[in-house]
Amino acid sequence: MSTVKQLWAPWRMVFIQGGTKTGAGCVFCELPKQNQDAQNLILFQSTYSFVILNKYPYNNGHLMVIPHKHTADLNALSSEEHADLMSLTNHCVSALKESYKPEGFNIGMNLGAAGGAGIREHLHFHIVPRWTGDTNFMPVLADTKSMPQHLEESFKQLEPYFRRLS
């Protein structure tokens, strides 16, 4: 008889239980204002948008591109804001290709509760690097994902690719 082994991911409980609440403000509006980009996992800020590592990633290197404008409506963005979001999304793909060498990507935006948005009030793109075989039964059966790299290490690995933009 084999023994079932436990794989612990206690950091996921914050997400499962609804995230940390630090007041009434939007986390995507508050983090860029704190002037603690490395601590907040923000890799780059432009005039209209910023790039941040997802604190609750699907895979290592999971990035988000977020407009500074607080909106859930994609049509509320100006043409400059749209262009900046896409330019930074493109840079994220390039940085991840060089740094992580993924075999593919999931890139998308979940709009509204029915669309699966975790933070509904502030739209954001997800850029998730993918590899053949990177999915298994653990997230489905145990709500656990094995992550081989800590977020701070992911930040250090990706930071040079975003310093180029400064």
Catalytic residues: 124
Are residues 51 and 95 in contact, defined by beta-carbon separation less than 8 angstroms?
A: no
Radius of gyration of the chain (CA): 16
- What beta strand segments (E) does 46-103 contain? 49-53, 63-67
Strand duo 42-45 + 49-53: pairing? antiparallel
Using alpha carbons, select from 39, 18, 96 the residue that is nearest to residue 64. 96
Bridge partner residues of 53 (DSSP): 63
Strands of the chain, DSSP E:
42-45, 49-53, 63-67, 104-108, 125-130
Cβ(72)–Cβ(123) below 8 Å: yes
